[in-house]
C-alpha cells in the first residue's frame, strides 16, 4: 500500500522526526511504499494569501473560498499545493506527526491543511439536497483512505484526562480528527500519543518506538474511531442535528461517536 507521512517540526532530530523514521522503516519492511512531506524541510508556505491564486488579478478582492474553488477547478493552484494533493490521491493512508503546541497543530501544518485541502478537493464537494448535505464527514475525495495523527505532547497524561485541567485529549484532538480528517472523507484511526515528549529517556523512547511500530503493522486492520457518517441517516438535514433517539441526552463531541451496540441505520 501507499503511505504518506507528513511531519511538522523544525528540528530534524526531534522526537517527531525520529518516530516518523521508525514508522517509515516499519512500513517499508512490511512492503509498503512511503513518501514523506517534511513541511519544514520543503519550507512550506503557511499563510493563505493572494499569491496562492496566480490566476486571480492582483486588483481583485481575495474571497478565499471562491478563489480556491476557481483555482482548483481550472488547474491553477500553485505547484506546491498540486504536489501535496497528488500525494494525497496516491496514498492509501496518511500519517501526520507533530508536536502539540498550544493545544493544536503547529502553524506550518495548519497552513498545509488550509492550502492543500482546497475548495473542491477537501471541502465544497457534492450536492446539497433534502437527503444529502454535501460530500463530507465520511464522504469526499479522501473516502477509503486511512489517516492517523501522531502527537508529541509535552504535558502530563493525567492533565489531559476526563477531568484534567487541559481538557480530555480526545476532545482537544476532535477538531483535527473529525473536523480536518473525517470531513474530507478519511477513515480516522485513534491517535498515537506520546506524553511528556520533551522528557523521554532511552527506555521511554524505546517503548514509544515499539508502540509506533505496532501501530504501523496494524495500520490497515485497526478499528477506526466510530464517527457517524453525516449522510448515513443519523443526522437531520439541513439542521445537521444528531437524531434525538441516537445517544439520547448526550451533547458535545462524544455524541458523534457511534456506540458499539447501536444498530447501523
Binding site for a second copy (CB under 8 A): 10-11, 13, 40, 44, 46-50, 61-65, 99, 101-108, 110-111, 113-114, 117, 137, 154, 156, 158-159, 161-168, 171-172, 174-176, 178-180, 183, 198, 230, 235, 238-242, 250-256
Task: Work out how close the CB of 123 gets to a second copy at its nearest, in angstroms, rounded to a whole number.
Answer: 9
Residue 105 or 147 having the CB closest to a second copy: 105
Candidates 88, 84, 65, 80; CA nearest to 3 is 88
Which candidate, 60, 38, 35, 62, places its Cα nearest to that of 48? 62
Task: Work out how close the CB of 59 gets to a second copy at its nearest, in angstroms, rounded to a whole number.
Answer: 12
List the grid coordinates of 29: 519492511
Around 118, how many Cα atoms within 13 Å sit in the side-chain half-sphere? 29
Q: Which CB, 99 or 185, lies closer to a second copy?
A: 99
Q: How far is the CB of 227 from a second copy (least distance, A)?
A: 10
CB of 67 to a second copy, least distance (A): 9
Q: What are phi and psi of 93, to 5 degrees?
A: -150, 150
- State the nearest-atom distance from the C-beta of 92 to a second copy, in Å: 23
Angstrom CA distances, 1 to 33, 50, 74, stand at 6, 37, 30
For a second copy, the closer of residues 13 and 74 by Cβ is 13
Torsion sign across C-alpha atoms 199, 202, 207, 208: positive
The three three-digit cell numbers of residue 213, written as one number? 511500530
Helix (H, G, I), strand (E, B) or coil at 93: strand
Closer by beta carbon to a second copy, 207 or else 236: 236
Beta carbon of residue 55, minimum distance to a second copy (angstroms, whole number) = 16
Q: Name which of 73 and 241 has its Cβ closer to a second copy.
A: 241
Q: Are 81 and 52 in contact (CB under 8 A)?
A: yes
> Where is 17: in which H helix or E strand?
helix 15-29
CA distance 186 to 197: 27
Question: Closer CB to a second copy, residue 215 or residue 256?
Answer: 256
Amino acid at each position: 500500500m501507499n503511505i504518506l507521512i507528513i511531519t511538522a517540526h523544525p528540528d530534524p532530530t526531534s522526537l517527531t522526526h525520529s518516530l516518523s523514521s521508525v514508522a517509515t522503516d516499519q512500513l517499508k519492511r512490511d512492503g509498503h511504499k512511503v513518501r514523506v512531506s517534511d513541511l519544514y524541510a520543503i519550507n512550506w508556505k503557511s499563510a493563505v494569501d493572494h499569491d496562492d491564486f496566480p490566476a486571480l488579478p492582483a486588483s481583485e478582492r481575495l474571497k478565499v473560498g471562491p478563489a480556491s474553488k476557481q483555482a482548483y477547478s481550472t488547474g491553477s493552484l500553485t505547484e506546491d499545493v498540486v504536489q501535496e494533493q497528488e500525494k494525497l490521491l496516491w496514498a492509501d493512508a496518511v500519517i501526520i506527526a507533530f508536536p502539540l503546541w498550544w493545544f493544536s497543530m503547529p502553524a506550518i501544518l495548519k497552513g498545509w491543511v488550509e492550502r492543500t485541502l482546497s475548495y473542491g478537493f477537501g471541502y465544497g464537494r457534492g450536492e446539497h439536497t433534502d437527503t444529502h448535505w454535501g460530500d463530507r464527514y465520511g464522504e469526499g475525495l479522501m473516502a477509503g483512505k486511512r489517516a492517523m495523527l501522531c502527537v508529541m505532547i509535552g504535558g502530563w497524561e493525567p492533565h489531559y484526562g476526563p477531568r484534567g485541567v487541559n481538557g480530555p485529549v480526545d476532545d482537544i484532538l476532535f477538531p483535527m480528527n473529525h473536523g480536518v480528517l473525517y470531513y474530507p472523507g478519511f477513515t480516522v484511526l485513534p491517535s498515537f500519543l506520546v506524553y511528556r515528549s520533551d522528557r523521554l529517556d532511552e527506555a521511554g523512547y524505546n517503548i514509544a518506538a515499539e508502540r509506533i511500530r505496532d501501530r504501523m503493522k496494524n495500520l490497515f486492520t485497526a478499528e477506526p474511531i466510530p464517527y457517524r457518517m453525516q449522510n448515513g441517516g443519523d443526522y437531520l438535514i439541513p439542521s445537521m442535528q444528531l437524531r434525538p433517539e441516537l445517544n439520547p441526552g448526550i451533547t458535545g463531541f462524544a455524541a458523534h461517536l457511534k456506540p458499539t451496540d447501536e444498530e447501523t441505520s
